[in-house]
Structure 1
Amino acid sequence: MLQTLEETISRLAILDRDVLAIAWLSLRVSLTAVSIGLAVGIPLGAFLAVAIFPGRSILVGLLNAFMGLPPVIVGLVLYLLLSRSGPLGSLGLLFTPGAMVAAQAALATPLVAALTRQVIADAEAHLGEQLRSLGLSAPHRGIALIYDTRFSLVTTALAAFGRAISEIGAVLVVGGNIDGHTRTLTTAISLETQKGDLSLALALGLVLIGLVILVNAVAAILRAHAARAYG
């Protein structure tokens, strides 16, 4: 055990090239996927929070259900879509970082939309009557409430990032865990543990924890600074 810890510290101290490459790919894929999730999920969640239409409760129920969608199922569906015989096979995305972005975005988007819907619904309960008295339509109320709750929505973004960067099932299916191409922190940790290279697995695990802490710290600092700036 002591030898494993020494080797782990050594890998981190010398900035092991393999560790850095895997960490950079994981961060790039997850941030891209979360950006897509936020771009789609926030407007969708706000719309479901303020709009009233037939079938709305069904859509909300489906959205909440998709929050717990098994990642391996998402990976399987995307695999079928992106395989050579699938409808999107001509894009050539299977076993590429693009496929992993799609998988993580598919998992992050329902989470963002569901959490946003709850945040906006709570704000609508307090400010909705005032906004309606100003003659704002549902889309305009949604935009106003998104702006009003922008600091609260940072937590939603962090939850999506945590879901994306810690994912293994879907990215393993559509990415293939190809060395130097589609190997992420989580898939590499699983592989290296099975191979018995515990020092590398532990180093990757520490990097993963460090990235999550770093992103959360940066978000907290930006949120605090923005809150002070906007009073």
Structure 2
Amino acid sequence: MDLIIEGVGQAIRLLIQGDPEVWAVTWLTLRVSGLATLISVLIGVPLGVLLAQSRFPGKAVVVSLVNTGMGLPPVVVGLFVTIMLWRSGPLGVLGLLYTPAAMIIAQAVIASPIVMGLTFAAIEQLDPNLRLQILSLGATRWQVYWRLIQEARLSILAAVIAGFGGVVSEVGASMMVGGNVKGLTRVLTTATVMEVSKGNLDVAIALSLILLALAYGVTLVLTVIQQGRRMG
């Protein structure tokens, strides 16, 4: 208990004193996870809507693959992204390994199936006659898709929240593709693991609390938007 209290005090001191390294790590965490979530939304939402509205043989297999992707182990994603970005890999010429860009790619791979799967479920739950009603008004296919997204916006926002939560808390992929390089790719999760390995449990607790506060802050903003739209 004393260790936890000491960790809380350490977190408060680090934030009040404006420790530049802590703020840099926190900002990088927000930037990497935020951009990864944005990319996953740009990929996952359209594909989720398209999958929900498509009818083709083997659709159940595709849906099961998407659902499996929602539980992708981050270390597996990190391994394959590392292989792709390795010096001798297919994308090694880009020189992205051990950079924030590599971390964003890995986290986007993790979050995209989550957003896609939950978007698919949200669209599937809509009234099947809604699409026909919109088409009867002369809407194009893309206008139909956009209207369906609007109708399912509360559930899709929940998908965004889930996607962000899935990446801001992961450590395996970030460690593998980022390397936990100080001042370059160190984020709150990898910094916490490092401090634990060094035996600095009070600092690790402090970083964990800052991570929780960051995750809660972003989730709160998204939730306010979600509930505001519901109230509206």
| TM-score in terms of structure 2 length | 0.92
Q: Which runs of 4+ in 1 moved over 6 A?
A: none
Of 105, 109, 112, the match for 1:109:
112
* 1:182 matched residue in structure 2: 185
User: Does residue 37 of structure 1 match 2:33?
Assistant: no
Superposed displacement of residue 18, structure 1: 1.5
Alignment pair present for 1:221 and 2:224: yes
What letter corresponds to residue 37 of structure 2 in structure 1? Answer: V
Provide the residue aligned with 1:173 in structure 2.
176
Unaligned runs of 5+ in 2: none
- Measured in 1, the distance between the counterparts of 2:30 and 2:61 equals 35
Mind listing any 5+ residue stretches in structure 1 that lack a counterpart?
none
Matched, 1:121 2:124: yes
Contact kept? 2:45, 2:115, Cα under 8 Å: yes
Seq. identity, % = 43
Deviation at 1:106, TM superposition (A): 0.1
TM norm structure 1: 0.92
CA distance in 1, matches of 2:90, 2:6: 50
C-alpha contact (below 8 Å) 1:50/1:138 kept by paired residues: no
1:211 equivalenced with 2:214 (yes/no): yes
**Which residue number in structure 1 is paired with residue 23 of structure 2?**
20
Q: Identify if the C-alpha distance between structure 1 residues 82 and 148 changes in structure 2 by more than 3 Å, giving closer, same or farther.
A: same
Give the aligned partner of residue 79 of structure 1: 82
Deviates more, 1:184-193 or 1:144-153: 144-153
Q: Give secondary structure in 2 for the equivalent of 1:123.
A: coil
* Aligned amino acid, residue 28 of structure 1: R
Q: Are the counterparts in 1 of residues 7 and 206 from structure 2 also a CA contact under 8 Å?
A: no
The code of the aligned residue for 1:99 comes to A
- Following the alignment from structure 2 to structure 1, what is the Cα–Cα distance between the partners of residues 139 and 173? 41
Q: Which moved more, 1:99-108 or 1:8-17?
A: 8-17
Partners of 1:55 and 1:187 in 2: how far apart? 40
- Could you tell me how far 1:168 is from its partner in structure 2? 0.6
The separation in 1 between residues aligned to 2:45 and 2:187, in whole angstroms, is 27
Contact 2:119–2:155 (Cα < 8 Å) also in 1: no
- 1:58-93 CA distances to partner (integer Å, 9 max, x unpaired)? 211111111111111111111111011001001000
Give the count of matched residue pairs. 229
2:133 is aligned with 1:130: yes
Preserved contact between residue 11 and residue 209 of structure 2 (Cα < 8 Å): no
Deviations 1:155-186 (A, max 9, x none): 11110000010011111110001111101111
1:141 aligned partner, one-letter code? V
In structure 2, do the counterparts of structure 1 residues 218 and 32 end up closer, same or farther at CA, with 3 Å as the change threshold? same
